[in-house]
Amino acid sequence: MYDIVILGGMVIDPESGLNSIRNVGIVRGSVNAISDSPLQGVSTIDADGLIVAPGFIDMHSHGQDDENYRMQALDGVTTALELELGTDDVDRWYDERQGKALINYGASVGHIPVRMAVMHDPGDFLPVGDAAHRRATDPEIAKMKQEIVRGLDRGALAVGFGIMYTPEASGWEVLEMFRAAAIFGASCHVHLRGQGGAGSIEAVEEVIAASVIASTPLHVVHLQSTGLEVTARLLQIIAEAQGNGIDVTTECYPYNAGMTGIESASFDGDWQEVRGMSYEDLEWAETGERLTEESFARYRKTGGMVILHMIPDEAVDAAVVSPLTSIASDGYMKKSVGHPRTAGTYSRVLGRFVRESRVLTLMDAIRKMSLMPAQRLEARAPMMAKKGRISIGSDADLVLFDAATVVDRSTYQEPTTPPDGIKHVLVNGILVVENGRLISGLNPGLPARA
């Protein structure tokens, strides 16, 4: 007798290649049986006509609170990880979420927050003072490296970087942080220094070189939003690096607009020429208004989230279909203000790229959203070897969806609208979404920690 039995769903496991109707038995939060014979459970879920897939693993999720976890669960996400920005206090970060999380959670130790702490930067989400605008001294770099080592020793999953937001961080400083990661075999998750054109090519070369010098695994975040019109060339560089034995991976999100803090250093200097943008390409997330020179200057003083309509559709398409990329949302929502990717990234891939345009197979899409993220992290965090797949002994983090109807419904004007077609979601064997609706009062999420 199983705790839960999922009856008659099309079980898709990207690790084994299983793609058949099966019954799945769950005991104490783990998959205990995958069978074409009848199974009996204390409770059952009728999965007739539904896909049963591993829960989606988001390696790039900034909104690490209940508001964001609820939206992501409705999109099929069972594990959300803050690996780009990260934290400067690993113990505190995990303690704040222990026993309070709807889905699984985890974080890197981040170069940005560590740099902000060491340089006494007054910024909140992103640096706005010395950490954004000043070269670090050798003693400061040594202190940062020490703090990165401490964070990894306390179980951080990786080391996070946002080099675009710390433009005065020297190549040597970045390399020193890579060397700290190498001590633990931890991957470095990097927002590249450049954005589009030759700057992006030089930026990816910088971190690949650091990876080789330090012998550190590298993960390049949201390739399409930093590569822009040269995304295909960045993919070629990464493929060639992999072919030469370099441990480098990458990710993307399926939208042609990004989002960031308007107060950040990414808008320093001649940002319009560097990014190939103008004021009207910026949308103030809180109101939906397109900016002018006057409103840009006003909002830059107050700070807040701005949506950047800048990514060519060709870049998005190239990144999403590439076998090199996993899918990650880069999501962040605060009081219902943000980007639609928080609520719609995974259903968008399934609805628009698998069913509508048919540029991805269902198996490949599920691999990008579950198995590939787990494989990136499992050497450092062995518990990830039980996620991203459906096999005996794997964690019962599962999503059941209707492949014929699943699609995102969140928009830039209504970013919190949940998707259609995501029917049921289980986290550690606990049903948290039933018939497309959240079940209240549950916090089965567990820490993903090295």
Domains: count for the chain = 2
Beta carbons of 433 and 73 less than 8 angstroms apart: yes
- Position 419 in a domain: yes
- The answer to whether residues 48 and 125 belong to one domain is no
- Position 445 in a domain: no
Cα–Cα distance between 176 and 145 in angstroms, integer? 7
- Position 444 in a domain: no
- Position 379 in a domain: yes
Residue 362 has pLDDT above 90, yes or no: yes
Looking at residue 140, its pLDDT comes to 98
Give the C-alpha distances (Å, rounded to integers) separating 56 from 146, 164, 174, 188, 424. 33, 28, 31, 21, 13
The share of the chain scoring above pLDDT 70, in percent, equals 100
- Position 414 in a domain: yes
Looking at residue 275, its pLDDT comes to 82
- The answer to whether residues 80 and 188 belong to one domain is yes
- The answer to whether residues 188 and 311 belong to one domain is yes
Type of residue at 144: M
- 91: Cβ–Cβ under 8 A, 6 or more apart, which residues? 154
Looking at residue 276, its pLDDT comes to 85
Band (pLDDT 50/70/90 cuts) for residue 146 is very high
From 145, 216, 220, 144, select the one nearest 182 (Cα to Cα).
216
Q: In this structure, what CATH number is given to the domain that contains residue 300?
A: 3.20.20.140
Q: Write out the residue range of the structural domain in which residue 125 sits.
A: 56-384
- The answer to whether residues 211 and 172 belong to one domain is yes
pLDDT digit string, tens, across residues 65-82: 999 999 999 999 999 999
Give the C-alpha distances (Å, rounded to integers) separating 291 from 71, 157, 280, 334, 444. 28, 38, 5, 21, 42
- The answer to whether residues 84 and 129 belong to one domain is yes
- The answer to whether residues 242 and 356 belong to one domain is yes
Give the C-alpha distances (Å, rounded to integers) separating 142 from 56, 146, 164, 174, 445. 37, 6, 21, 12, 35
Instruction: Say whether 437 sits in a helix, a strand or coil.
Output: strand
Last residue of a domain, one of 341, 365, 384: 384
- The answer to whether residues 33 and 84 belong to one domain is no
Last residue of a domain, one of 368, 384, 400: 384
- The answer to whether residues 154 and 107 belong to one domain is yes
Cα–Cα distance between 10 and 154 in angstroms, integer? 40
Q: In this structure, what CATH number is given to the domain that contains residue 405?
A: 2.30.40.10
From 403, 382, 402, select the one nearest 394 (Cα to Cα).
382
From 388, 441, 401, 442, select the one nearest 16 (Cα to Cα).
388
Beginning with the edge strand found earlier in the chain, give each strand of the sheet holding 282-284 in spatial order: 257-261, 305-309, 282-284
Band (pLDDT 50/70/90 cuts) for residue 317 is very high
- Position 153 in a domain: yes
Looking at residue 335, its pLDDT comes to 96
Band (pLDDT 50/70/90 cuts) for residue 151 is very high
From 387, 380, 383, select the one nearest 57 (Cα to Cα).
387
- The answer to whether residues 208 and 133 belong to one domain is yes
The phi, psi pair for 20, rounded to 5°, reads: -145, 160
pLDDT digit string, tens, across residues 72-113: 999 999 999 999 999 999 999 999 999 999 999 999 999 999
- The answer to whether residues 110 and 214 belong to one domain is yes
Mean pLDDT of the chain: 97
pLDDT digit string, tens, across residues 172-196: 999 999 999 999 999 999 999 988 9
Beta carbons of 279 and 292 less than 8 angstroms apart: yes
Looking at residue 273, its pLDDT comes to 87
pLDDT-wise least confident of 43-52, 274-283, 400-409:
274-283
Give the C-alpha distances (Å, rounded to integers) separating 419 from 79, 256, 342, 349, 379. 18, 19, 11, 11, 33
- Position 443 in a domain: no
Please report, in angstroms and rounded to a whole number, the separation of the first and last CA atoms in the chain: 33
Beta carbons of 395 and 386 less than 8 angstroms apart: yes
Looking at residue 101, its pLDDT comes to 98
For residue 117, is it left (φ>0), alpha (ψ between -120 and 50) or beta?
A: alpha
Tokens of 438: 């959240």
Looking at residue 274, its pLDDT comes to 82
- Position 447 in a domain: no
Q: What 3 state SS string does 357-396 have?
A: CCCCCHHHHHHHHHHHHHHHHCCCCHHHHHCCCCCCCCEC
- The answer to whether residues 160 and 199 belong to one domain is yes
- The answer to whether residues 221 and 347 belong to one domain is yes
Cα–Cα distance between 204 and 209 in angstroms, integer? 8
Angle between helices 231-243 and 197-214 (to 10 degrees): 20
pLDDT digit string, tens, across residues 347-360: 999 999 999 999 99
Looking at residue 144, its pLDDT comes to 98
pLDDT average, residue stretch 257-262: 96
- 65: Cβ–Cβ under 8 A, 6 or more apart, which residues? none
Looking at residue 194, its pLDDT comes to 87
